[in-house]
Amino acid sequence: MTASLGEFDLIARYFTRPVRRAVLGVGDDCALLPAPTAGEQLAISSDMLLEGRHFLPDADPEALGHKALAVNLSDLAAVGARPLAFTLALALPLAEARWLEGFARGLLHLADAHDIELVGGDTTRGPRNICITVLGTVPQGQALLRSAAQAGDDLWVSGTVGEARLALGHRLGEWSLDAAAQTATFARMDQPTPRVALGLALRGVAHAAIDVSDGLLADLGHLLRQSGVGATVNADACPASPALRNQSAPRRRLCQLAGGDDYELLFTAPAAARNAVQTAAAQATTAVTRIGSIDAQPGLRLIDAAGQVLDNAYVGFDHFRSA
């Protein structure tokens, strides 16, 4: 295998596969997809991963392929859309076979697991940058929107939160994790699991949803502002993995409440729907935990297990505010 490939060899070798639901895939000026069936809407989202900003130059290419698609699938999950197709815009300093093989393996493995097909994209030379656009479908009026939370709703989160931030802290030298905690949390940071099945199961059950990418409280803030409501969150109710349970309370709270990159779903549902939420979670084989409630009074109130009010110093990540 050659060490360096031309643009068209590269596209043909790594990113061209037979079409499935698409009418026309990679190779022409546009891909063609059948129009959504009557009563369905298309859900569309893009996310970019930039070297030096979202990943390090020595990041494992297979994990990166997985993560680039996972963060996009997470956006489909957050509206309850079913994955359909995606495009890949890729800038690379060099067309290295070893890197491309790993990247394509991670990317297409996750794509197959979610029955989403790569239908096109663009490839250019430049600082490494991966931009994916996903398309999904959702029945009209059933998308889970950030703006749909109602006073009196329960606030729920899927899985566990804070592990990606715990891994990041170790990598940045803020603290040091033992070998077992490194294994558990690095996998979480590098290869997040998009909660697609849960998003689908919550259609018609949940009111509002958002995926946790910038930090639990920061992302909750977006949801509250767009819904015109407030919330009370019990910091001690946030579900923690064993690695996080071994940390001090301040560090655990920092990771869980301010840490991004977990890609769990944060959602609201009427209190009367608690059983339906648990049924949806069981259907999606994804644990969910009730961590608070939505209030008519705007703002975010953070409490501990004893009901004591905590300071909310847990701002999330903002690309133009953080160094």
How near is the Cβ of 29 to ligand ADP at its closest, in Å? 4
How near is the Cβ of 62 to ligand ADP at its closest, in Å? 16
How near is the Cβ of 73 to ligand ADP at its closest, in Å? 17
Compute the CA torsion angle 58, 108, 138, 200 (nearest 10 deg): -80
How near is the Cβ of 144 to ligand ADP at its closest, in Å? 29
- DSSP string of 156-183, one letter each residue: EEES--SHHHHHHHHHHTSS---HHHHH
Bridge partners, residue 46, by sequence: 133
d(CA 269, CA 207): 5
Q: Which of 1, 2, 3, 29 binds ligand ADP (CB under 6 A)?
A: 29
How near is the Cβ of 21 to ligand ADP at its closest, in Å? 16
Is 155 near ligand ADP (CB under 6 A)? no
Q: What is residue 86's three-state secondary structure?
A: strand
Is 69 near ligand ADP (CB under 6 A)? no
Is 7 near Mg ion (CB under 5 A)? no
Please choose which of ligand ADP, Mg ion, none residue 99 contacts, taking the beta carbon within 5 to 8 angstroms, the exact cut-off set by kind: none
Is 18 near ligand ADP (CB under 6 A)? no
Among the residue ranges 113-121, 183-191, 239-247, 307-315, the one whose residues contact ligand ADP (CB under 6 A): 113-121
Alpha helices in the chain (DSSP H): 7-15, 61-79, 97-113, 163-172, 179-190, 196-201, 216-227, 242-245, 249-253, 274-283
Helices 61-79, 179-190: inter-axial angle, 10-degree rounding: 60
Count, residues near Mg ion per rule CB under 5 A: 1
How many helices and strands (H and E) does the chain possess?
10, 11
Is 120 near ligand ADP (CB under 6 A)? yes
d(CA 107, CA 99): 12
Is 122 near Mg ion (CB under 5 A)? yes
- Return residues touching Mg ion (CB under 5 A): 122
- Return residues touching ligand ADP (CB under 6 A): 11, 15, 26-29, 88, 90, 118, 120-123
